[in-house]
A and B are shown apart, each in its own frame.
Chain A
């Protein structure tokens, strides 16, 4: 388990986090800077503020896969979950799934609360107000409540409307577990494993599962609060009571998990705010391209779906699965062995059954590595026959939640693109790829490497993200 503050120190050590002071920032809003850094595939940012809590953006997101890069969109989160930055995607997906209800709960560990300083009120933290926001916002928090079953976690974001009042959005399934007057704790700046677990529970619609029955129990040391238990290393803990479980509150923006599951509003009266000595909390430029909440939603959904499809038929044909933030979760990409003719239809349609986020699935062959998204974006158009392999359902399917069209509930078609080799084809029909490995014998490859090594031309930035099937070109 890596505390949030330690995680940020690690990113800075790796030159993947840049500090921005108030003096440098001037009057440019934090969310605009955070969005611009992410849009430009830049580093994470830490806003070192003279007044209020420090903020960190981009820490759960990363660069897109539209170019060959030295890190993947999920590299930072991999580090945060204790993996190498170069860890294959599937290792991350397995780790994420292991934090949820299908993971194995470990022995609960209680350690003292890092946030030991009681603040006067919320205003002392000076949460940032976005350029289009009416109120200061909190994002990427974990809401914790206690029921008879135990502590439940879910993602939370919201606005600060006074010194001791919050209006927040949580999954409706969490809101349904609480009543007016119940206590809730909001943990900001939690270990990456904790926010990931909260997102996973939300997108898998398993918020009703107490964390004692999930893999995050034992993975993250905890501490009791007046709400539910929270990670001991949390930077800021806000304890509150539910003042109104059905307030008239519509936020200006919504974190991306609300595309996957229904959200609900709560009005909270803050009873206590505690923080570490030098607190820092994450902030996501909600609604902007590549935002942290979008990436977390995509990766946790991918992990959930990857696990489900690979445990559904008694075998594990799926090599990897992605809902890239560059598609805003509107397309699901999956690499799989096509076990038999028609399996691709089965695979696409079971994904439609398991998620209502998207209505387009792209299937590529199992030997396409996840780091080589450029190849995916090529194979779609050259390997899939324009009429035979772009397959549409009858137009009576429900609309997907994420895309902008048909949000009035009108039914329509779903689409899957089959960019795999047809298993009925004779092997001699399968066109060999043009690659350095396949187009040249080893002796020639070695000569070419030596030629460039002598001139200092090293492998491209995206090459290191790989080993074996899911990582690295075999070169």
Chain B
């Protein structure tokens, strides 16, 4: 059974020995994030900090709670959804896709039944800085809440639109929100509310139940609702409750809800920030102003955060894990729904938001171009620069297989395709553009455009068989186990998640 709150998720982590609770006092000022980054680097347990120095509340900071293990990043997410442990990547994707195919309408509960209303503060009682928001990296522009779900109005859904946008705190009632034009909620703000000179009501939900967090990291097409897909993921309706200061509905089990408005025509500094590329990006930007009207929360709220930038290369963090474990299955489903016969779409493990691997057949000439064109103009527009296409029988969860395919099958002469030269939008978080190229745009995209590319690493001719037949391989693994060879790769075929 799926967990139904963030703290229930933490309990499940603790039951599995995956949570390290620290009672000693830790500062929100770099200390919590340094401890978290070390855990990320060492593939250690998830740290929870129960005593935060200089904090006016009894909040518990939790560092990168969704980080998965290096070799099987989806395991903790699968566990939270009540799925079998030890699923292979392919089986995990299949299970998530199966649940996303059966969305469930959410359920609205009364305020007294909503745990997120245990403490309600409005008006002059609102103090954003009373919570221990972490200062994450030396050189960041400020303290951040960066593992949260932003709930915004949706013209086509009564349940609102959920997505992930970080915010940098400025004072007791103001923060800047990273809204990048091209994404649904930012578009709503920049091209509807702001043009009408209206504030856009939003709520930043911190510590939402896991299914909510996962669905917020998915690209749900307009006309559909993240809330229903979250229900599908957990196989139960998500409980929602009405905000104190707007009509927005927020997940009732959330740890903390920050209600307010994104003001039209007003900007605050945002960044620099150590970002998902693994580098500090700058320069400082101007981003829309989030004016806080109310804060509701559970007692002793659990406040998750992500040490962004630490999920590249060999290491994982929450955001890189959510890309693989949430965005990947959703993208696979989305591509299939759009008529593309893909096996799987999986973020590249070493830099998950910049390049994706798609295992697919290539049924007709031009198919890969169509596929890339579809993605680059929809959900892959801002963050993804590259797609690598491999044959449907290449395992996209196995980076060596992908790298081998690129090395042997991608001909520099005809298999590297650039979608025009510097005609595409790009987020200014990147590090390959100069500061001059990045700054100046007022809707969150770089002033200069970029290129997008795809690499066709599918076979053109005869396929070269590289392994013995699978039955013989299974017998070989059994022999090796009997001889004393250990390690995840030599576990039983059941434990490796292989299906007959």
Mark A residues whose CB is within 8 Å of B: 18-21, 24-26, 28-29, 32-33, 35-37, 39-43, 45, 64, 66-68, 131-132, 287-289, 324, 326-331, 358-360, 372, 374-375, 377-378, 381-390, 392-393, 395, 402-406, 412-415, 425, 428-429, 431-434, 436, 438-441, 444-445, 447-449, 451-452, 455, 457-460, 462, 475
Contact = CB atoms under 8 A, between A and B. Distances in A.
B467 A18 contact: no
A392 B468 CA distance: 36
Interface string B428-444: 00111111000000000
Interface string B388-423: 000000000001100110111111111110100110
A290 to B, nearest CB: 8
B4 interface: no
Given A288-B466, A326-B403, A448-B34, A459 B42 contact: yes
A20 B479 contact: yes
Interface in B242-301: 274-275, 277-282
B138 A36 contact: no
A320 B462 CA distance: 35
Nearest to A26: B479
A413 B410 CA distance: 11
A386 B452 contact: yes
Contacts of B308: 434
5 contacts: A328-B408, A381-B385, A434-B279, A439-B309, A451-B35
Contacts of B385: 381, 386
Given A374-B314, A432-B139, 9 more contacts: A18-B484, A42-B480, A327-B403, A385-B433, A406-B411, A415-B416, A439-B33, A451-B35, A452-B39
Contact of A37 (B33, B355, B480): B480
Given A328-B407, A433-B279, A28 B37 contact: no
A457 B44 contact: yes
A374 B313 contact: yes
Contacts of A425: 434
B354 interface: yes
A67 B30 contact: no
A329 B385 CA distance: 26
Contact of A68 (B70, B277, B432, B450): B70
B15 to A, nearest CB: 18
A374 to B, nearest CB: 3
B450 A385 contact: yes
Nearest to B491: A40
A42 B490 contact: yes
Contact of A402 (B138, B354, B408, B412): B408
B484 A330 contact: no
A298 to B, nearest CB: 12
A318 to B, nearest CB: 21
Most chain B CB inside 10 Å of its own CB: which residue of A29, A45, A375, A404: A404
B403 A33 contact: no
By Cβ-Cβ distance, the 4 closest A-B pairs, closest first, are A434-B309, A412-B413, A330-B407, A40-B489
B339 interface: no
B477 A36 contact: yes
A466 to B, nearest CB: 13
Nearest to B20: A455
A24 B37 contact: no
- Interface range on chain B: under 10, 10 to 19, 20 to 34, or 35 or more? 35 or more
A405 B458 CA distance: 11
Chain A, interface SS category: loop
Contact of A327 (B138, B280, B404): B404
B37 A386 contact: no
B165 interface: no
A328 B412 contact: no
A29 B482 CA distance: 16
Interface string B14-51: 00000010101010001101110111011111000000
Contacts of B37: 436, 439-440, 448
B346 interface: no
Nearest to A396: B413
Contacts of A404: 408-409, 459-461, 464
A439 B432 CA distance: 20
A403 B407 contact: yes
A195 B412 CA distance: 34
Contacts of B467: 35, 39, 288-289
Contacts of B315: 68, 374
Contact of A19 (B435, B453, B468, B483): B483
Given A382-B279, A386-B385, A375 B468 contact: no
Nearest to B312: A378
B105 to A, nearest CB: 39
B137 interface: yes
B431 A431 contact: yes
Contacts of B318: none
Contacts of A439: 30, 33-34, 37, 136-139, 274, 309
Contact of B313 (A35, A288, A378, A389): A378
A327 B480 CA distance: 26
A42 B434 contact: no
A359 B406 CA distance: 12
B119 interface: no
B189 to A, nearest CB: 27
Contacts of B22: 451
Nearest to B41: A460
B404 A447 contact: no
Contact of B487 (A42, A327, A405, A447): A42
Contact of A360 (B41, B275, B412, B483): B412
Contact of B71 (A67, A132, A327, A434): A67
A33 B479 contact: yes
Given A35-B468, A328-B407, A460 B43 contact: yes
Nearest to B488: A40
B411 A405 contact: yes
Contacts of B282: 431
Given A387-B450, A425-B434, A439-B138, A406 B413 contact: yes
A330 B407 CA distance: 5
A447 B34 contact: yes
A440 B30 contact: yes
B432 A434 contact: no
B348 interface: yes
B143 to A, nearest CB: 15
Nearest to B398: A66
A444 B30 contact: yes
Contacts of A68: 43, 70, 314-315
Contacts of B44: 452, 457
B431 A328 contact: no
A387 B472 contact: no
A434 B435 contact: no
A444 B71 CA distance: 29
A64 B400 contact: yes
Nearest to A34: B476
Contacts of B137: 434, 439-440
